[in-house]
Amino acid sequence: MALELISEPRFYAVAIFAVVLTGIAKGGIGAAGGFSVPVLSLVISPVQAAAIMLPILILMDVIGVYAYRKDWDRRIMATILPAGLVGICIGWLTFKYLNDDWIRLLLGAIACGFVAFNVLAGLPKPAQPSRVKGYLCATGSGFTSFVAHSGGPPLAIYLLPQRLDKALYVGTTIIFFTVINAAKIGPYFMLGLFDARNLGTAAVLLPVAAAGILLGIWVRKRLSTRWFYRVAYTLMFVTGAKLLYDGVTHLAAG
């Protein structure tokens, strides 16, 4: 299979920005791909964006696992990982029923809802972990991760109240999504998402992904993440609102 590439310069301008931002988030604050697909969906199909991003996220996972291999909570992982894999299966079984506009609506709702949750609710009160809440949040995380690599928000709802050490929070998130992303490879192949063009474009962006996550690790160690959160949340909300608008108007016109 000969590799092909997306040729539009506008795509690469957006893609490089999205991949670098995702790498910084994944390596520095534990976010896991939630920025990339919504941003890329402004210039290409959400389904194609998800296919291109999966190999890139897996490379980020490899680097992240090495960096945080000692910083993850095994007790929490025993709860969230099986449920996350169930969410993957649900996403796989329902994926063919979701068209581009419904995925745009889902992405927009996730992006705007996550920003609203964090901005309006603030830092949640400390709470003892609930297995039921862990199962529900991790299942939702697996599903939204499969559809759009946006599994971070549901997982954060479960993890944030536990007030984990920063490195432990990032490491637990990275280990979880490393397994989740690996579990998506087979279903993505069977759904026909890994065509020559998507794989070729992903290969070109891999060096950008590596640079992004290494930059994120550097940021976590040396800089406050307050401004990064502010900029990232603003971009996520604007992008989510645009996707909601596009999804609603396209569905209404159709």
- Give the pLDDT of residue 27: 65
CA–CA distance, 192 with 126 (Å, rounded to integer):
43
Q: Considering the chain, what is the average pLDDT of its residues? A: 83
**DSSP secondary structure string, 140-187?**
HHHHHHHHHS--HHHHHHHHGGG---HHHHHHHHHHHHHHHHHHTHHH
Please tell me the least confidently modeled range out of 30-39, 73-82, 124-133, 142-151: 30-39
pLDDT level of residue 7 (50, 70, 90 thresholds): confident
Q: What percent of the chain is predicted at pLDDT more than 90?
A: 32
> DSSP H helical segments within 29-165, as ranges?
36-40, 46-67, 74-94, 100-121, 131-148, 152-159
- Give the pLDDT of residue 39: 82
Residue whose pair of structure tokens reads 């389904």 in the numeric block: 47
Helices 46-67 and 196-222 meet at what angle, rounded to 10?
40
Which residues, in sequence order, are CB contacts of 82 under 8 Å at separation 6+? 138
pLDDT tens sequence across 39-75: 888 889 888 999 999 999 998 888 878 878 888 999 9
Where do the structural domains in the chain lie, given as residue ranges?
Answer: 9-253
Mean pLDDT of 179-203: 94
Supply the pTM of this predicted model: 0.81
- Give the pLDDT of residue 76: 93
pLDDT exceeds 90 at position 154: no
Q: What number of other Cβ atoms are within 10 A of residue 195's Cβ?
A: 13
pLDDT level of residue 30 (50, 70, 90 thresholds): low
pLDDT tens sequence across 105-126: 887 887 788 778 777 766 556 6
Give the distance between the most distant pair of CA atoms in the chain: 53
CA–CA distance, 108 with 66 (Å, rounded to integer):
32
pLDDT level of residue 205 (50, 70, 90 thresholds): very high
- Give the pLDDT of residue 152: 79
Please tell me the least confidently modeled range out of 12-26, 116-130, 166-180, 188-202: 116-130
- Give the pLDDT of residue 115: 78
- Give the pLDDT of residue 107: 74
